[in-house]
Amino acid sequence: MSTLEESYLVGLIGDGITASLSPPMHEQEGREHGLLYLYRPVDTGALGLQGQAAQDAAPRLLAAGRDLGFNAFNITHPFKQTIMEHLDEVDPDARNLGAVNTVVFRDGRSVGYNTDYSGYITGLQGAIAEPDLGDVVQLGAGGAGSAIAYALLRAGARQLTLIDLDLDRSTARAAALQEQFPDQAVRARPHADLPASLVTATGLAHCTPVGMHSHPGMPIESSWLRPEMWVSEVVYLPVETELVVAARAAGCQVVDGGRMAVGQALDAFGLMTGLRADPERVRRHFLELVARNQG
């Protein structure tokens, strides 16, 4: 715990985020470090802003926060891409991803980072000491999937197969990633090829909404799971999705969606404060928050 009581004022800019778990996670970890740490959601929807009006307001809100003494902001949907042009500096990984979800103010300058990809790596390696990244299949190439695909290649995946219902989207994403990672193999395959692709896969990264409370179900057949493969889930509400339960039953090493959510918080907290958040403590608090919200 810190010997000096430091203060931090941080926020989250996004649409429909008043119920986000980020504020209580950050604030509790701040208290554990002896900090005065206040995390405020800035919800453009709650402010009555939609569409282009919200896009125009986001950089003004960020600038106002800097002027008012905020230390940092998390940035979420739908501003992760458009906020970049308004920053003084962007971390190379965030630039490669084309998205920023954390902005830190240093010496009056705004610096953008992406902890979506780094949070995934943190969560994956926190759950599995040495995940086999030889032949990874990723289901879903949309918003979260873009960051996770980049994360897998950044972590050393030798072969990454992207599968999405929208083959054009997965093909375009695979081509862009192949250019960024020329020494690794990135390919897109039709959704119908998913069962065949999983036959030799060392890991499956699930990156679609299937399994959420609002989209219940299984994204794959449970018979396609093999105990030799690891399975990671992006959905964390609920944490115990049907895929997570089925993968454990099949003997797979499993990374639930909460791991990525916690990983993002860990990395953002570190960027914002320069301190290392305690992974297990933050995860315990996250699970308590999820249980409380579901209750």
- Is-contact 37 26, C-beta < 8 A? yes
Distance of alpha carbon 182 from alpha carbon 184, whole angstroms: 6
| CB proximity list for 94: less than 8 A, separation 6 or greater | 84, 100, 112, 113, 114
The CA-CA-CA angle for residues 273, 19, 290, to 5°, reads: 85
Residue 83 DSSP class: G
Terminal C-alpha separation, the chain: 32
Cα separation, 266 vs 260, in Å, equals 10
Residue 293 among the catalytic residues: no
Distance CA 114, CA 105 (A): 15
Q: Which of 42, 71, 76, 80 is catalytic?
A: 80
Strand partners, 110: 105
Catalytic residue numbers read: 80
